[in-house]
Each structure stands twice: as structure tokens, then as C-alpha cells.
Amino acid sequence: METKPEMTPSALVELLHSLDAADILVWLDGGWGVDALLERQTRPHKDVDIILRVADVRRLQEILARKGFAIREGIPPNSFVLADGSGLEVDVHAVVFDDDGNAVYRMEDGRDWIFAAEAFSGWGVVEGMRVRCLSPRTQVLCHAQGYVPTEKDVHDMELLQDRFAVELPTQLRRSRT
């Protein structure tokens, strides 16, 4: 039986500490972003989704290259995945901030996704470390557009709804019996 790689809480904290030491601000998104907001790990994660400034992408790549990470897919600087030899992944989404704190993310298809400044107001905890996250509302918006949500996505969004009373759009709802 093949074991799947897992981005453990300790591996994530180690990664975040190395980025903090380089003054690279990151916000967690996706599964780890949800778990950080909930302040507990709710499921295993093979990757971590991060948002950072486009200006920090080159330094991020240099730091993670020293840890064995290389580009697996996508093209920097906007949207790409780094992976190490064990299969762990860092899914990178780089943004450009304006003077008001709003951010533009250039998606793979060339369209721009605009994050309101409020999107970056989330805070969570991973293994005792306080971390920046996308806000619960923004997590829901990101999961509701652009792709068909998986069962784990719907479950994650339900956890945010239960904890933060965020409203879920129809495609993220299932009947609760």
C-alpha cells in the first residue's frame, strides 16, 4: 500500500517560519486556510495553498528550492505549484496589492480575480502558531466560483458556516438530515 504525502501541521509551521524569516507575508487559503481558521486540523492535506505578493515570488522559489521544491505545474509568477521529492505541494497564488489593500490575482486563463481588502483579514492557528488566512467569507467565495466543488470542499465550507455563520451559495450546500 502506497502512503500518500501529507502536509503535516509541523511541516507547515516549519515552512511558514522559513518564509517569515525572509519577511515574506503569506495568507493561507484552501484546506489549511479553513483548518487554521477553525484552529484545528479537520482532515489530511497533501498541499498548502498560499497567497503572497508577486514581488515575493522569486524569494519564495529560492527558499523552497533549498528545501527540495521545484515547479511541478504552472508558470510563475501568478499561479503555479511547487512540489518536493516526497510529493508535498505548495500551491502558489500571487497577487498585486493596490493602495487600498485590495489585490489582483491573475488566473491561469488570463482573467483577473479581485480580492477586496477584507479578504486578507483572517487569522488562524496551526500548531500554536498564529497565521494569516483569507477570511471565512472569502474562502466561501473562492470555493463557489470557477470549478465544481468536491465533497471535501463542501464539507470545509459547512465547517466555516457552522463556526462563522457565513452564508453558503447553493452549489456549496447539501441537504443536512
> What gap in Å lies between CA 94 and CA 77, rounded to an integer?
7
Tell me, what's the pLDDT at 177? 45
Alpha helices in 39-85 (DSSP H): 57-65
Q: Using omega within 30 degrees of 0 as the cis cutoff, is the peptide bond preceding 77 cis? A: yes
Tell me, what's the pLDDT at 5? 86
Tell me, what's the pLDDT at 35? 98
Residues whose CB is less than 8 angstroms from the CB of residue 90 and which lie 6 or more positions away in sequence, other chains included: 15, 47, 48, 50, 64, 69, 81, 82, 83
Beta bridge partners of 125: 130
Question: How confident is the chain (177 residues) per 10-residue block, as mean pLDDT?
Answer: 81 96 97 98 96 98 97 95 94 98 93 96 98 97 82 93 92 64
> What gap in Å lies between CA 69 and CA 151, rounded to an integer?
29
Measured N-to-C along each axis, helices 151-164 and 30-38 cross at an angle, to the nearest 10 degrees, of: 30
Domains of the chain: 9-166 (3.30.460.40)
DSSP-based three-state secondary structure for 23: coil
DSSP-based three-state secondary structure for 59: helix
pTM for the model: 0.93
Q: Are 146 and 47 in contact (CB under 8 A)?
A: no
